[in-house]
Structure 1
Amino acid sequence: MLKITAAQINPTIGDMSGNVARMIAAARQARADEAELVVFPELSLTAYYPGDLLEEEGFMERVESAFQELLAASRQMPALYWVIGLPVRHEGRGKRLRNALRVIKGGDVLLEYAKQLLPTYNIFDERRHFEPGPDVARVLRIRDVQVGLMICEDGWNDEGLDYGVNPFDRLRDAAPDLVVSINASPSNVGKREQRHRIFTAASSRNALPILYVNQVGGHDQLVYDGASFAVEPQAGAVWEARRFEEDVTTLLFDGGRFLTAAGEAPPAVPAEGLPTLEFYRRQVVLGLRDYARRCGFGKAVVGCSGGIDSALTLALAVEALGAGNVAAITMPSRFSSEGSVSDSEILCRNLGIPLLQHPIADLVAGFASGFDGAFGTALQGVPLENLQARIRGTILMEYSNSFGHLLLTTGNKSEISVGYCTLYGDTNGGLGLIGDLYKTEVFALSAHMNQTAGRELIPQAIIDKPPSAELAPGQKDADSLPPYPVLDEVLKFLIEGPRLATWEYDSAAAFVGDLRTRDDGRALVARVKQMIARNEYKRRQAPPIIRVRARAFGSGRQVPIAAKFS
């Protein structure tokens, strides 16, 4: 029998002193719960993922100093075993560091294990900094329980499809009673269910109960949802921690079963997690909240056009930061509709935030006059449209610089994909909240926000109006782009493809397959594909976006700008 505290904490990258404080607080809670073992996430000392900070002068010295603080703290709790994730130095050939865990007790290091499988796909690039650990199992006896240890990716290859090594093979041979896996698994739609499926299968195949402890919190474009869990070979997932928040919970492991600290069966774990729209909401809210906090921003500002994208961005920002910390600015031009301002006023009144007004007609006229005077030709067409966006972007940055607000961009994935945005205009800002949501999902999430609130946060008039950039007379998005229900299916197929959930991929593939049976459909798909390729340079210069889907723009999709795509 063993009492184990799963310490699902929210560390900050590089904040070793803050992370140590969080870990010590969790260890004290474990001691109060009379636990014998406390388990922290992967790289919990530095938080995941430090990237090239690992190469910065003095970084590893700070890691090692912080680790000494943990050793000292463990002396004050001599009966407690700690499992800690941290980078360690590696001597010999290969990279100079390893991604490791250490088990400490009473000021001593009892065991060290280095991660064997280093992911270098999608958003991951661990082989850039770390040398793989040797193909060995590490097992430690705590009381009468043999505890085997592994780190994140080590547990994802039990089917042997992605690596030549399967750490479960050695671990199974070592015959532990329990496997403890420490993790930093970023979240995207469907990821929780994928984790359960993979580790339930591994538990069953290897006849090993597994405790999976995950990191929580937002780091740049990535969000970690926590959702730590325990699986048993016959029963599958039997316990799950809270999602999108810290959770330090003590469990009892007895006779191959996981029980609550009181010795009772934990509440049943539902097969399905949050509904997709609720998942999007909570992922984005935590992502913004932590991004702002870690970067030192207490307030945010959004350019409010009276359209659906800025409305949803504002609603999410208010939930994350509070109405008193969000400002909206409307910047009407001579092309703005009456609803641009009036709908913005209703929206901001519903959200309880101020709406500031800064008209741009005179500024646009001044630029146009100056252009004509300097170059002897009228400013018109796309250059005039882009000028309006850039003036608005400049005003928003002026406000951000003057009052210290974080500027949030409002582009969605559909528009970012095909370049329906203006560099140094509506792409200005520090973070994009909805840049991984297709336009159809923006509409759906807006309706969900209203439904969740039980009232109309986002006015129905905004949800119902035809999307428009309002940069030219009578302009509508449909004048330049395919209808969003069509565009989004094509984009899903071209950008995410097999990374989509099976049902979503089958739907998108069938949709595109049907289009390709017709000349106009083939032309549409080819046009969209070309638009994606031609606008990579814009995405490269845009701010980070919060990732919610399996393949997001940013580190998860790396393609060259200067290339021939067809």
Structure 2
Amino acid sequence: MLNITVAQLNYFVGDIEGNTRKMIDAARRAALDGAELVVFSELSLTGYYPGDLLDEPGFLNRVEAGLAALLEASREMPALHWVFGAPLQREGPGKKLHNALVVLAGGRQVAQYAKQLLPTYDVFDEHRHFSPGPDVARVLRIGTNQVGLMICEDGWNDEGQDYLVNPFARMADAAPDLIVSINASPSNVGKREQRHAVFGQASTRYGLPLLYVNQVGGQDQIVFDGASFAVEPGRGVTFEAERFVEHVSTLRFENGAFLARDGSALPPVNPKGLEPSAFYRAQIALGLRDYARRCGFRQAVVGSSGGIDSALTLVLAVDALGAENVEAITMPSSFSSAGSVDHSVQLCDNLGIRLHRHAIAELVEGYARGFEATFATPLRGLPLENLQARIRGTILMEHSNHFGHLLLTTGNKSEISVGYCTLYGDTNGGLGLLGDLYKTEVFALARHVNEVAGRELIPQAVIDKPPSAELAPGQQDTDSLPPYPVLDEILKIEIEGNRLPAAERAAAQAFVDRLVEQPEGQALVKRVRAMIARSEYKRRQSPPIVRVRSRAFGSGRQMPIAAFHV
């Protein structure tokens, strides 16, 4: 029998002292529960991912101090083994660090393992700082149990498609009673189910129970959902920690099975996760909450156009920060509809947030007069449209600078993909909440918000009216773009492709295949591809976004600005 405490914690990258305190507190809870083993997540000492902080002078000295503090704390609990992640220095050619798993017990380091598979795809770039560990299995005896030790990516290659080495097979050869895997697995829609499938299949293939401990919390554009779990051969997932919150609990491992601490059966785990809209809402709220507090913001401000994007952004901001910490600004111009203000008023009343009115018509006219006086030509067309967006962006930044609020940009993935946004205007801000949601998903999430609320939290008129930037008379998004249900299916294939969940990819590919059967459909797809390519320079200068899908703009999609596109 082995009592194991799962320590699913929210770490702050670079705050080694704070992370150390969290780990010591959790270890003390584990000791009180009678645990022989407490398991933390990958790079828990530094938080994942420290990036080039690893190159900063003095950073590794702070890592050493953190290790020393954990070692000293472990003396207080001599019966408890601590498993956690940390960057450790190494000798020889190559990068001078290992992404390592460390085991402490009774004031001594009793084991160490270096991660073998270092991902460099999507949001990962571990080869930048780490050398891979040797192709060996690490097994440690704790009581009567042989415990195999593994780090995140090492368990994802059991099909042998991505790397030449398969640490899972090597571990199976060592025949442990149990595998413990420490992880920093970013969350996206469908990722929980993917983890369960990959590790459930490997567990059954090798006949090995496995405990998977993940971190939780937001870090820049990435969110970790926690959802730590235990899996047993043939039975699948038998335990799951809560999602999107810290979770510390003790399990009993006995005769190859995971039980509650008192030896009773664990409650069954629902194989179905959150439906997409509920998932998006929870993930974005956590991402904003952690981003704001870690960047020193308590409050946020949003430009309220009366449209669906700003409305949903305000709802999510209230979810994350509370209504008392969110403000909105409506900035009507001569082209704004009455609804742009009225709907903003109704929405903010529903949410209980303060709405400011700052009209911009006179500012626009002043700029237009100045332009014509200087350049001897009237300001009209696209420059006049963009001017309105840039004036609004300036007003929002004035508010942010003066009051110290975090400005949230409101662009969605569809608009960002094709550049339907104004640089230095509606792209201004510190964080984008909808930047990884296609417009059709924005509508779906808005409807979900109202369904959950049991009332029109977002006015139905906002959901029903045709999308418009309201920068010209009678303007609608479809004047410049294909209808969003068409555009979004094209974008899914062009941006995410094989990274889409299988069913979603099949549906999107079938839609595009039907589209290109006609010459006008072929031309449309070619046009959308060109718009995506031409807009890269805008995305490069835009705020970070909260990632919720399998491939998001930012570090997950690195494309050159100046490139030849077919």
TM-score (norm. length: structure 1) = 1.00
Shift of 1:78: 1.3
CA distance in 2, matches of 1:454, 1:146: 52
Q: What is the match of residue 487 of structure 1?
A: 487
Residue 292 in 1 paired to residue 275 in 2?
A: no
Q: What is the match of residue 137 of structure 1?
A: 137
Pairwise mapping of residues 349-368 of structure 1 onto structure 2 (< 5 A)? 349-368=349-368
Residue by residue over 1:82-131, the C-alpha shift from the partner in whole angstroms, topping out at 9 and shown as x without a partner, is: 00100000110110111001100111000010000000101111011100
Any runs of at least 4 consecutive aligned residues in structure 1 with deviations exceeding 2 A, and if so which?
none
Shift of 1:264: 1.2
Residue 105 in 1 paired to residue 105 in 2?
A: yes
CA distance in 1, matches of 2:234, 2:504: 30
Shift of 1:288: 0.4
Residue by residue over 1:121-180, the C-alpha shift from the partner in whole angstroms, topping out at 9 and shown as x without a partner, is: 011110111000000111111110000000000000111111000112221121110000
Q: What is the match of residue 239 of structure 2?
A: 239
Pairwise mapping of residues 217-228 of structure 1 onto structure 2 (< 5 A)? 217-228=217-228
CA distance in 1, matches of 2:24, 2:445: 39
Pairwise mapping of residues 23-62 of structure 1 onto structure 2 (< 5 A)? 23-62=23-62
CA distance in 2, matches of 1:160, 1:554: 28
Q: What is the match of residue 181 of structure 1?
A: 181
CA distance in 2, matches of 1:169, 1:420: 49
AA at the equivalent of 2:515: L
AA at the equivalent of 2:446: S
Of 263-272 and 96-105, more deviation after overlay is shown by: 263-272
CA distance in 2, matches of 1:442, 1:495: 18
AA at the equivalent of 2:536: E
CA distance in 2, matches of 1:154, 1:497: 25
CA distance in 2, matches of 1:220, 1:168: 31
Pairwise mapping of residues 284-363 of structure 1 onto structure 2 (< 5 A)? 284-363=284-363
Shift of 1:508: 0.7
Q: Secondary structure at the match of 1:82?
A: strand
AA at the equivalent of 1:448: H
Q: What is the match of residue 230 of structure 1?
A: 230
Q: Secondary structure at the match of 2:52?
A: helix
CA distance in 2, matches of 1:256, 1:158: 21
Residue by residue over 1:346-392, the C-alpha shift from the partner in whole angstroms, topping out at 9 and shown as x without a partner, is: 00000000100110011111111111111111111000000000000
Pairwise mapping of residues 198-277 of structure 1 onto structure 2 (< 5 A)? 198-277=198-277
AA at the equivalent of 2:516: R
AA at the equivalent of 2:177: D
Q: Gaps spanning 5+ residues in structure 1: where?
A: none
Pairwise mapping of residues 351-390 of structure 1 onto structure 2 (< 5 A)? 351-390=351-390
Q: Secondary structure at the match of 2:552?
A: coil
CA distance in 1, matches of 2:369, 2:351: 39
Residue by residue over 1:437-492, the C-alpha shift from the partner in whole angstroms, topping out at 9 and shown as x without a partner, is: 00011011001011112221100010011100000011000111100100011111
CA distance in 1, matches of 2:324, 2:174: 57
CA distance in 2, matches of 1:232, 1:550: 27
Residue by residue over 1:478-536, the C-alpha shift from the partner in whole angstroms, topping out at 9 and shown as x without a partner, is: 11110010001111111111111111101111111111110110011000010000000
Pairwise mapping of residues 122-201 of structure 1 onto structure 2 (< 5 A)? 122-201=122-201
CA distance in 2, matches of 1:120, 1:319: 33
Residue 2 in 1 paired to residue 2 in 2?
A: yes
CA distance in 2, matches of 1:69, 1:4: 22
CA distance in 2, matches of 1:492, 1:170: 37
CA distance in 2, matches of 1:2, 1:442: 47
Q: Secondary structure at the match of 1:283?
A: helix
Residue by residue over 1:224-268, the C-alpha shift from the partner in whole angstroms, topping out at 9 and shown as x without a partner, is: 000000001121110000000000010000000000101111111
Shift of 1:270: 1.4
Q: What is the match of residue 458 of structure 1?
A: 458
Q: Secondary structure at the match of 2:162?
A: coil
The number of residues matched between the two structures is 566
CA distance in 2, matches of 1:454, 1:33: 42
Q: What is the match of residue 469 of structure 1?
A: 469
Shift of 1:556: 0.5
Residue by residue over 1:521-556, the C-alpha shift from the partner in whole angstroms, topping out at 9 and shown as x without a partner, is: 001100001000000000000000000000000000
Q: Gaps spanning 5+ residues in structure 2: where?
A: none
AA at the equivalent of 2:523: A
Q: Secondary structure at the match of 1:5?
A: strand
Q: What is the match of residue 281 of structure 2?
A: 281
CA distance in 2, matches of 1:142, 1:98: 24
CA distance in 1, matches of 2:169, 2:504: 34
CA distance in 1, matches of 2:137, 2:467: 57
CA distance in 1, matches of 2:67, 2:363: 57
Q: Secondary structure at the match of 2:416?
A: helix
Q: What is the match of residue 407 of structure 1?
A: 407
AA at the equivalent of 1:146: Q
Q: What is the match of residue 544 of structure 1?
A: 544
CA distance in 2, matches of 1:132, 1:454: 52
CA RMSD in angstroms, aligned pairs only: 0.6
AA at the equivalent of 1:542: S
Residue 511 in 1 paired to residue 506 in 2?
A: no
Shift of 1:18: 0.8
CA distance in 1, matches of 2:346, 2:244: 31
Q: Secondary structure at the match of 1:555?
A: coil
Q: What is the match of residue 563 of structure 2?
A: 563
Between the aligned residues of both structures, percent identity stands at 70
Q: What is the match of residue 90 of structure 2?
A: 90
CA distance in 2, matches of 1:74, 1:247: 21
CA distance in 1, matches of 2:164, 2:264: 40
Q: Secondary structure at the match of 2:250?
A: strand
Q: What is the match of residue 443 of structure 1?
A: 443
TM-score (norm. length: structure 2) = 1.00
CA distance in 1, matches of 2:427, 2:251: 47
CA distance in 1, matches of 2:207, 2:89: 34
CA distance in 1, matches of 2:490, 2:171: 44
Shift of 1:51: 0.7
Residue by residue over 1:370-429, the C-alpha shift from the partner in whole angstroms, topping out at 9 and shown as x without a partner, is: 111111111110000000000000000000000000000000000000000000000000
